Amino acid sequence: MSQHNPELQAPHQPNPEEAIRPDAPDFIETPEVATVSDETERLPLWLFFLCGFALFMAGSSFTGFNTFGLGLYDQGPGGPALGPGGSGPDVVVTDPVALGKKIYAGNCANCHHADGEGQPGTYPPMGGSEYVLGSKERLAALLLHGISGPITVRGGSYGSAVMPGWAISFTDDQMADLMTYLRKSWGNTANEAKADEVSAARAKFASKADAYCEADLQKIAPNGPDPSDTKK
């Protein structure tokens, strides 16, 4: 009892030994906890393959990868060039006429036009031209070093505009392709030019420092078919 308040009872002090007994009022049973296993759970095999496939699909720059032929992915540097339909590599062009046509379109068509008719009084035509159908050596010399002054083609006179030479612009193969295109287009049916013929003309006329005039070209060869055309 308290000295100040006789009715106040002192709190019961639990016996430590009684507190741990199951029938004690303050006893709290600790739930059992499962033992944590040291073994890690393996990923399902299907999840492993799914992640790998997702990573592969994300790498759209894998060279040569073309999903189901649809060409949906960037081929990346070094990948095969796709054709217009995106279905495969472009076919390498080896036809000299086709190669010569590209050279003509990029370097000659501005003056002589795509139809090869040139411009009356200024730029001579290519179809039926004595200089296209004649000596290949003369044609090579003209293309390598250019021409200045009037020139007569198909009975017509064409102006004094200077045509530049292409000696440093084209290789022997490219020059031969251009000559072949000229000699086989717009109704022309002469034989094709060869790179070794251009190489021989390049060496023979290497000392030429300026453009040819018509008189100089006539000294190389007169009008008429190339000798190789008579051997068909």
Q: How many domains does the chain have?
A: 2
Q: How far apart are CA 215 and CA 121, in angstroms?
A: 19
| Same-domain pairing of 128 and 163 | yes
Q: What H or E segment, with its residue span, contains residue 156?
A: strand 156-158
Beta bridge partner(s), residue 158: 151
> CATH number for the domain including 187?
1.10.760.10
- pLDDT at position 162 is 87
In a domain, 61, yes or no: yes
Which residue range is the domain that position 59 belongs to?
Answer: 39-86
- pLDDT at position 134 is 96
Q: Helices (DSSP H) in the chain: which residue ranges?
A: 16-19, 45-58, 96-107, 109-112, 130-133, 136-145, 172-183, 195-204, 214-220
Strands 156-158 and 146-147 come out as unpaired
- pLDDT at position 159 is 85
Here the tokens at position 181 are 């295109």
In a domain, 2, yes or no: no
In a domain, 19, yes or no: no
CA-wise closest residue to 226 among 201, 205, 209, 203? 201
pLDDT along the chain (232 residues), means of 10: 57 58 59 61 69 68 43 43 52 91 96 94 95 97 95 91 92 98 97 97 95 96 88 58
| Same-domain pairing of 214 and 174 | yes
- Phi, psi torsion values for 82, nearest 5 degrees: -90, 145
In a domain, 27, yes or no: no
In a domain, 184, yes or no: yes
| Same-domain pairing of 214 and 115 | yes
- pLDDT at position 227 is 86
Question: What's at 74, amino acid-wise?
Answer: D
- pLDDT at position 45 is 72
